[in-house]
Amino acid sequence: MKKAKTKPKLGRRAAKNRRKNDPRGYVPPPDKKPGAAPKAESPAPAPSERPTRVERETHEVHPPVEPALEVEGFRAGQVAIVGRPNVGKSTLLNALLGRKIAAATHKPQTTRRNLLGVLHPAGGEIALYDTPGYHRAKGGLNRFMVSESRSAMAESDLIAYVVEAREDGRMTPGNTEVVNAIRRSEKPIVVLVNKIDRLTNKNAMLTLFQTYSASLGEKVVAIVPISATRRDGLEEAVKVIGAALPVGEPRFDPELFTDASERSIVSELIREKVVLETKDELPYATAVSIEAFEDGRPDAIVRIHATIHVERTSQKGIIIGRGGQRLKEIGRRARHEIEDLLDARVYLELFVRVDEGWSTRQEDLHRLGYGEGGSEDGS
């Protein structure tokens, strides 16, 4: 009787290399490494297993904020939305457009590239550029992010400077750096004081107005208090911004609200869910690339295959989670928002891959879309 063939055992180094390069996000089974999760396959269920509409997370849909501009002449121009990390710039863009195209989380530096959103109010056209948070750049990825913010300011007709409402009415040292950069641009400025719903000391608003007026000088067109999450003050902000733009001709189709590709937005929505699900466990060095985007609309589903890139094998295990549950939850949450974006049924398959030190190597940064001429979706 012949003995059944068995697979040769991998040595430690070979096993480590296989785990690192396995795109499925392989993690050794518990009998090989106590406490480790088994390998995780795709988190997305087959189309027949999709949750019903009632079971899905719901996302509010609002019309875009496009009040009529009460000015003479058609106003058109570019507006750079700038500010420190985590002040609500991406949340503001989503709120103004009435739809989600920008990743927004509680963590700073979620936005990595400039992202265009276009408003078409009566009497004007406003091209808004959401930018990465302005910060001290260390490393290739951070330098790319700051360069994106600087280029948006240089090419804009107006700067929408977003700051947080503070109880003490003071300007933080980080904002001092942003103010200096804005002053050097010599562009007109509209200051948007965000998160006013959190302010208990209403007298602090007067102090904030005085602080930023004095710091930015005569280039300040207006200071507008807003709450992006509650959509408070947004109509006034759009009116002020639109009126401050030069007289010009429209550049975009009236139906267009962004020039970002669907693939690019999908990759950002997936990365957002990675950040939200891993919370404080995972550093910022994750990226998402779209490997395949099979568009079966309008008659069939959209099939998307995406890779989550991390820098170390230990980070792969964090994303996959015990028994692959965290990766499945990332996929579930991302798929719901992608379906809302595409207005179609979606089959999403996620993989995890280790690219050691990708955030410090120029060729990897370019390949993942963080370099001049790089693909926005990392494909």
**For residue 9, what pLDDT is reported?**
36
**What letter represents residue 322's amino acid?**
R
Phi then psi dihedrals of residue 286, to 5 deg? -125, 150
Helix locations, the chain, DSSP H? 12-21, 89-97, 140-155, 173-185, 204-216, 234-244, 262-278, 313-320, 325-342, 362-367
Q: CA–CA separation, 129 vs 248, rounded Å? A: 18
Residues 304, 264: contact at Cβ < 8 Å?
Answer: no
**What letter represents residue 338's amino acid?**
I
Produce one character per residue of 196-205: b if its CB has 16 or more CB atoms within 10 Å, e if not. beebeeeebb
The reported pTM is 0.82
Q: CA–CA separation, 130 vs 112, rounded Å? A: 10
Identify the CA nearest to 131 among candidates 156, 107, 114, 106: 114
Residues 163, 212: contact at Cβ < 8 Å?
Answer: yes
Residues 228, 91: contact at Cβ < 8 Å?
Answer: yes
Q: CA–CA separation, 187 vs 174, rounded Å? A: 20
Phi then psi dihedrals of residue 14, to 5 deg? -65, -40
DSSP structural state of residue 102: S
List domains and CATH numbers for the chain: 27-56+260-367 (3.30.300.20), 75-244 (3.40.50.300)
Q: CA–CA separation, 352 vs 123, rounded Å? A: 48
- Pairing of β 302-310 and β 346-354: parallel
**For residue 313, what pLDDT is reported?**
92
Q: CA–CA separation, 86 vs 266, rounded Å? A: 21
Q: Can you read off the two tokens belonging to residue 264?
A: 């690019």
**For residue 29, what pLDDT is reported?**
38
Q: Would you give per-residue pLDDT tens digits along the chain (379 residues)?
A: 444 443 333 333 433 443 344 443 433 333 333 333 333 444 444 433 443 333 344 456 789 999 999 999 999 999 999 999 989 999 999 999 999 999 999 888 789 999 999 999 999 999 999 999 887 767 788 889 989 999 999 999 999 999 999 888 888 778 888 999 999 999 999 999 999 999 888 788 889 999 999 999 999 999 999 999 999 999 999 999 999 999 999 999 999 999 999 999 999 999 999 999 998 777 677 999 999 999 999 989 999 999 999 999 999 999 999 999 999 999 999 999 999 999 999 999 999 999 998 988 889 898 998 876 555 566 5
Question: Residue 367: how many CA atoms within 13 Å on its side-chain side?
Answer: 11
Residues 193, 208: contact at Cβ < 8 Å?
Answer: yes
Q: Can you read off the two tokens belonging to residue 135?
A: 């910060």
Residues 289, 352: contact at Cβ < 8 Å?
Answer: no
Q: CA–CA separation, 240 vs 226, rounded Å? A: 13
Report helix, strand or coil for 314.
helix
Q: CA–CA separation, 127 vs 117, rounded Å? A: 6
Residues 363, 374: contact at Cβ < 8 Å?
Answer: no
- Angle between helical axes of 140-155 and 173-185 (0-180°, round to 10): 40
Q: CA–CA separation, 238 vs 118, rounded Å? A: 12
* CA 47 from centroid of its chain's CA atoms: 27
Q: In what order do the strands lie in the sheet with 220-225?
A: 115-119, 124-130, 75-82, 158-164, 189-194, 220-225
**For residue 8, what pLDDT is reported?**
37
Identify the CA nearest to 115 among candidates 94, 85, 86: 94
Residues 363, 253: contact at Cβ < 8 Å?
Answer: no
Which residues touch 17 (CB under 8 Å, ≥6 apart)? none
